[in-house]
Amino acid sequence: MLAKRIIPCLDIRNGKTVKGINFENVVDVGDPVELGAKYAREGADELVYLDITATHEGRKLFADLVRRISEHLNIPFTVGGGIDSEKDAEILLSAGADKVSVNSSAVKDPGLIDRIARGFGNQFLVVAIDARFAENRWTVYVNGGRIPTDKELFSWAGEARERGAGEILFTSMNHDGTKNGFACDALKALSTALSIPVIASGGAGKKEHFVEVFEQGQADAALAASIFHYNEIPIPELKEYLRKNHIIVR
């Protein structure tokens, strides 16, 4: 069995790390370079940086930030937000990112997945999916969780894998920021159906939730933000707890 990964997520707005609840009420929580270096020292396996207000103007700012991050990190990190083309991916990978993540742009242009995977390799591409459960259906949303689409979580994740995604990062909008636990049933269904790693996002609030997401949800990695940003669950403490519960971690 592969070791399970713990991944702090840093949402970036105008060069600062921010955090919200259910994709709203966003507040500033610190410097992304310093936070990333701190998490690396504490034993995080990877990091995810998402530029949540990516624009053409912000792309250069974010690329400069990615360069600074890469100079201070000794663990892999993924960057995403507003990647609309192979050129955007190339800029961020060249700046030092280990992987890129696409979300809304891939929903609007699924061929983007094929082109990035073909140009850089599946292992460099994460497809992020934000979905909300209502009326017995997981509906995929775009534009930072603001706009519903006609896509459904499981069929879209399967298509993304077929097109060349190396990993799926699934955020349950129902669970995001609530600290009530991950969407384990949906995660188990995704993990069972897909032959690529699934990263769980949305709902981490206590150490038990990580045991649940790895055992019940069968996720390959678990991503969280506020519990790490506010030091509610220190990463070394979390990893020790997982080991005691027979979860293999690095």
Structure token pair of residue 8:
């702090």
DSSP state of 14: T
Number of H helices, E strands in the chain: 10, 12
Active-site residue (options: 11, 88, 176, 220): 11
Task: Tell me if residue 9 falls in helix, strand or coil.
Answer: strand
Is residue 45 annotated as part of the catalytic site, yes or no?
A: no
**Residue-by-residue DSSP string for 105-165:** HHHH-THHHHHHHHHH-GGGEEEEEEEEEETTEEEEEETTTTEEEEEEHHHHHHHHHHHT-
Q: What is the largest CA-CA distance in the chain?
A: 47
Pick from 150, 107, 152, 147: which is nearest to 133 by CA? 152
Quote the Cα angle for 171-116-108, to 5°.
55
Active-site residue (options: 45, 51, 130, 176): 130
Is residue 11 annotated as part of the catalytic site, yes or no?
A: yes
Amino acid (1-letter code) at residue 109: D
Measured on CA atoms in the order 236, 238, 241, 247, is the torsion positive or negative? negative
**Positions marked catalytic:** 11, 130
